[in-house]
Amino acid sequence: MTPSQSAPAETPTPLPQTAAVRDKRIDKWLENWNRFWFEPTTPVAMALFRIFFGIILLENMLIHLLPDFDLYYGKNSLIPINDMMSLYWHSSYYFDLMAALPDNDKYIYGLFWVMVAATVMMTLGLYTRVSSWVTFLLLMSFGAHFQLNQNAGDNYLRLATMCLALSNAGDAFSLDNLIRATRQDWRETGFGARLSAPWAQRLLQIQICIAYGHTWYSKMEGKMWNDGTAVYYAVRYDDLMRFPVPHFFDQLPVYMILTWGTLAIEFALFTFIWWRPARYWVMATGIALHLGIEYCMNLPMFEWSFMLTYLLFIYPEDLTRSWNWVKAKIRERFGEPYRLAFDGSCILCIRTIGLIHRLDIFGRIKPIDFTDKDNDAELTEAKLDRERAQKEILLQKRDGDWLGGFKAFRRISLRTPLLWPLAPILFIPIVSFFAELIYKAIAANRKLILGSSSKVSSSKVSS
C-alpha cells in the first residue's frame, strides 16, 4: 500500500449503499413481476384464442369423440367405469361427474351434450366465465372416465380451458360484451375492451414454454436426436403417419438439418420467444415446425392448439395495427364506409348504434350524429334530409340516396359480416313487412322507451 492510499479502516463502510442498491434491485424486480402478471392489458388476444380454441374443442368432441362415444363411455365400453376406477385410478382422486351420477348412459350422453353446448357458448362468449368452467369440468370428467383415449393434446386442451376459465376472455369479441354494451353509453365508456390483469394469459404462455422446454430436454437425452436421424424415424411411425415425406428429402444431411432444426426451434420457443426483437421470428419457425409435423403426422388437435397459443404472444399494439391494416385494405377494395345518420338525442338510438358499431368489425359503417353541429358540414354535403332523419335511421347508399328505417337495417346486415346469417331472413317478405311495422312503432316512441340523451357528445365514434 502506498502512503497516498487510504487505510481500509478509514474508508466509509459501503454496506448501506450496497443494501440500497439491493433494495432498488428487489423493487425493480418486484415491479417487473407485477407488471408481467398484473398490469392491465387488453383481453383481445385471449378472446381470439377463446374463439379458435373453442372451435378446436368442438372438432375434438364432434369429430373425434362422438363417432366412438359408446366404445369409450357407454355402458358396454371397452373399459367400464368400475374397471377404469380399479385398474387405472387406483387410489388417486379424479374429478368425474359421470361417476358421481347413477350408472346410466343417458346421464353420460346428457353431460356430453351439456359439454358441447357449454363449448359453443364459450366460443360465442355467452356467459363466458360459467361456460368455460363447465367445459373445463366436463373435459376433466370425460378425460378421467376413459383414460385410454387421452394423449398430451387432451391434457393441453384441459389446461388451456382452465386458463380460459380463469381469464377475462369474455371481455372482447363475445356476446357477453355485446349484451353489456347494450346497457352502456359508448359515449362515456368508449368501444375499447375492458382492460384486466393478464395473469391467466401469462399462465398459458408459461405452460406452453414448459411444454417446449420439457420436450426439448427429453429429446436432448435421446441418441437419435443427437446423431441427427430422429426425424427420419418419426415421419415413418406407422401409427401416426399422414402423408409421406417426398423421396428427394431422403438424404442424411436433410434429416440432420430437420432433426437439429427441431431442437433449435424448440429451444427458441421457450427462451428467445420472450425477447421482443426475436419473438415473431421464433413464432414463425414454430408455425413452420408444427405445419411440418401436421403434414407428416396425424396428431389430432395437437399442432393446432399449440399454434393457436402463439396468438397470446402477439403484442396488443401489433394486434391493433394488424387489424387496422385489414380494415384499410377492405376500405381500399370496397370504398369508404357507409354513412349512418342517427339521432344523438335518443338513448335507444345511441345504444343501437353502439351495437351496430361493435358488430361492424371491418368498419364498413360510419355512424354520424345529425344532432351534433360538428357534423353539419358533412351531412349537408351528403344531402341529408333532416326531417326524415328525425323519423328514422338513415343509411347512405353508394349513389348518394338515403335508405331509411328497416331497409337501412337490412342493408347494414349485408355490409356487416357478423350479421350475414340474419340477412336472408330480413329479405323474407312477411318478415320485412312485420319488421317495418315494428320499426316504425319503436321509432315513433323511441324517446319514451329509454328517454332522451345526456349532454355527452357523440360526434366522435372511435373504436
Partner 1 sequence: MTATIFKILLLLAIFVTVLGATYPKQRAAIQEEQATNYDNALVHDSMRAQAQYEAALKSTTENTAERIATGNAYAAALTSQQRFEEAAKIYQDQLALTWGLVNNAYNEKWADASMHLAGAHRNLDNQPAALVCYDSVLKHDQQFLPANDPRIVRDLNNIGLMHYLIGMGKSEALDRKNEFKTSRDYLEQALSMLEKNNQGNTAKASATLWNLFLTCRDLDDNAAANQYRVRAQTIDKSLNRVCREP
> Which position among 133, 156, 216, 338 is part of the footprint of partner 1 (CB under 8 A)?
133
Cell of 167: 381469464
The Cα angle at residue 122 between residues 120 and 123, in degrees rounded to 5: 65
> Which position among 6, 11, 76, 91 is part of the footprint of partner 1 (CB under 8 A)?
91
223 contributes a contact to partner 1 by CB under 8 A: no
93 contributes a contact to partner 1 by CB under 8 A: yes
> Which position among 72, 94, 267, 280 is part of the footprint of partner 1 (CB under 8 A)?
94
* Stretch 136-195 residues interacting with partner 1 (CB under 8 A): 137
- Span from 87-95, 188-196, 215-223, 292-300 in contact with partner 1 (CB under 8 A): 87-95
Closest to 371 in 3D by CA, of 393, 354, 355: 393
Q: What's the start-to-end Cα distance of the chain, in Å?
A: 71
Instruction: Report the alpha-carbon distance of residue 294 to residue 302 in Å, rounded.
Output: 9
> Which position among 71, 78, 79, 99 is part of the footprint of partner 1 (CB under 8 A)?
99
- Span from 77-85, 110-118, 178-186, 276-284 in contact with partner 1 (CB under 8 A): 77-85
86 contributes a contact to partner 1 by CB under 8 A: yes
Eight-class DSSP state of 372: S
Instruction: Report the alpha-carbon distance of residue 278 to residue 94 in Å, rounded.
Output: 41
> Which position among 27, 39, 83, 374 is part of the footprint of partner 1 (CB under 8 A)?
83
- Span from 85-93, 319-327, 352-360, 421-429 in contact with partner 1 (CB under 8 A): 85-93
38 contributes a contact to partner 1 by CB under 8 A: no
Q: Are 44 and 193 in contact (CB under 8 A)?
A: yes
51 contributes a contact to partner 1 by CB under 8 A: no
Closest to partner 1 by CB, 129 or 440: 129
Shortest Å, Cβ 132 to partner 1: 12
Shortest Å, Cβ 127 to partner 1: 13
451: left (phi over 0), alpha (psi -120 to 50) or beta: left
Instruction: Report the alpha-carbon distance of residue 228 to residue 231 in Å, rounded.
Output: 8
Give the burial string for 54-64 (b: 16+ CB within 10 Å, else e). Answer: bebbbebbeee
Strand partners of residue 196: 41
Q: Are 75 and 105 in contact (CB under 8 A)?
A: yes
φ, ψ for residue 13 (rounded to 5)? -65, 130
Q: Are 435 and 401 in contact (CB under 8 A)?
A: no
> Which position among 55, 85, 355, 418 is part of the footprint of partner 1 (CB under 8 A)?
85
Shortest Å, Cβ 137 to partner 1: 7
> Which position among 38, 95, 237, 334 is part of the footprint of partner 1 (CB under 8 A)?
95
Closest to partner 1 by CB, 87 or 425: 87
Strands in 338-342's sheet, in edge-to-edge order, are: 365-369, 338-342, 394-396, 402-404
319 contributes a contact to partner 1 by CB under 8 A: no
90 contributes a contact to partner 1 by CB under 8 A: yes
Closest to partner 1 by CB, 99 or 423: 99
Tell me the three state secondary structure of residue 395: strand
> Which residues sit at the interface with partner 1, rule CB under 8 A?
81-83, 85-87, 89-91, 93-97, 99-100, 133, 137
